[in-house]
Chain A
Amino acid sequence: MTPAPASEWVAGGIGLALVLGAVAFTVWEGATQSRRPPDFTIRVDGVEPRNGRHRVLFTVRNAGDTTAAQVTIRATVSRDGMVLERAEATFDYIAAGATRRGGFVLGPDPSAQTLEIGAVSWTIP
């Protein structure tokens, strides 16, 4: 029985480092995470005129520690407290710490009115 060549030990060592690294990171996450509920922040990426209407692109980020499912994002365009138009977009999942992108197509020019975009509901998968 010949001793195993050094290359095999190197491969095993790299493997050990990878596995321990992944496990250590997961343990660290488990120990430090406080299981905060989903918390959404939304950024408007751009408003462009499109066939007489306005396309609004946005990025939503889940800053919580919990993944949310069926996340409904609502856009409301209003002027002087009067609602001109509402639109909704639904994301199947937004994982903890993940970002997702979406869009709305709105009639009134959002840059001339008050545009509010926010998460209105979600479920925990």
Chain B
Amino acid sequence: MGRAFAGAVVFALPILMTMEMWWLGFHMDRLRLALMVVAAVPLLTALSHFIGFEDTFDWREDLRDAFIALTVGAVASGVVLTLFAVIRLDDPPSAVIGKMMVQAVPASFGAMLGRGQFGSSGDREESEKRRQNVTYAGEMFIMAAGALYLGFSVAPTEEMVLIAYRMTPWHGVVLAGVSLAAMHAFVYLLQFKGGETHQSGGAAGVFIRFSVAGYALALLVSLYVLWTFGRADGHAPGQVILATLVLGFPAAIGAAAARVIL
């Protein structure tokens, strides 16, 4: 449990100290906030299956661990934000709950990952064994989780939209190419590491099935995060796509890195 709290704080500290995240706590759409928290439950459950607090193979235990992670995330966020005087006792309840909930989701990812990263060597072997048997859907899930995590930590800042505003569509096209190339470089790296189990179909096949599919997934995750934070509201389709490509860059790196790290 100590490791879970440590993980939550380590992973969430950058966004706990981002003021846009505090503002989102009181001005973001309540239904989108609720949906984000609800959507975190199946994500954390699946994440628990891959790394987890304990060596669970039972989905009920994974589900329980997901709720523990969410609780740890919410409590850790609440404590740190109170320490920073971001949450004060005279704040309206909806603002306090909102500030905690919006941070609880990334913090709960940290809580879950904390166990995976700070785990003992015995656990590591165990998870290594499980890692070998990951299905294609599992690989895609790990990529989505990585995209969500890194996308989440940069999406709330004003710089995110400002970059999209400054860019021309041509910048966007080049950025898409660079993101895809970076993603494929990671896939290639993993092949050398020997962890890759889905080798068939040749180089083009690996590119389409992993790099392109993974990048598309990172873009969808980016679009979802932008929508959740209200960054797409009132914007023309071209601007939404451009912002998605901008957020898609860190999301793609996060997605690819997650496969190497987890």
**Set of chain B residues within 8 Å of A33, measured between Cβ atoms:** 169
Among the stretches A18-26, A39-47, A49-57, A74-82, the one at the interface with B is: A18-26
**Set of chain B residues within 8 Å of A97, measured between Cβ atoms:** 235-236, 238-239
- In the assembled complex, the CB of B222 is this many whole angstroms from the nearest CB of chain A, namely 10
* A105 contacts B by Cβ under 8 Å: no
Contact residues on B (Cβ < 8 Å of other chain), bracket: 35 or more
User: Is B216's CB under 8 angstroms from A1's CB?
Assistant: no
Q: How many residues of A contact B (CB 8 A)?
A: 35
**Set of chain A residues within 8 Å of B214, measured between Cβ atoms:** 15
* B208 contacts A by Cβ under 8 Å: yes
Considering the complex, which residues of chain B in the window 214-249 have a beta carbon less than 8 Å from any beta carbon of chain A?
A: 214-217, 219-220, 234-239, 241-242, 244-245
Residue of B nearest to A68 (CB): B165
Considering the complex, which residues of chain B in the window 199-216 have a beta carbon less than 8 Å from any beta carbon of chain A?
A: 199-201, 205, 208-210, 212-216
Residue of B165, B199, B217, B242 touching A15 (CB-CB under 8 A): B217
Residue of B165, B201, B238 touching A29 (CB-CB under 8 A): B238
User: Is A8's CB under 8 angstroms from B173's CB?
Assistant: no
- In the assembled complex, the CB of B221 is this many whole angstroms from the nearest CB of chain A, namely 12
Residue of B nearest to A11 (CB): B213
* A119 contacts B by Cβ under 8 Å: no
Residue of B158, B161, B238 touching A26 (CB-CB under 8 A): B238
* B23 contacts A by Cβ under 8 Å: no
Interface contacts beyond A12-B208, A12-B209, A22-B219: sample of 16 additional A-B pairs, CB < 8 Å, sorted by A: A4-B200, A4-B201, A8-B209, A9-B209, A16-B208, A18-B216, A22-B176, A25-B241, A26-B242, A33-B169, A95-B164, A96-B238, A97-B235, A97-B239, A100-B234, A125-B166
Chain A: residues with CB nearer than 8 A to chain B?
Answer: 1-5, 7-9, 11-16, 18-19, 22-23, 25-27, 29-30, 33, 67, 69, 92-93, 95-100, 125
Which 6 pairs of residues, A with B, have the shortest CB-CB distance? A97-B236, A30-B169, A15-B216, A15-B213, A67-B165, A12-B208
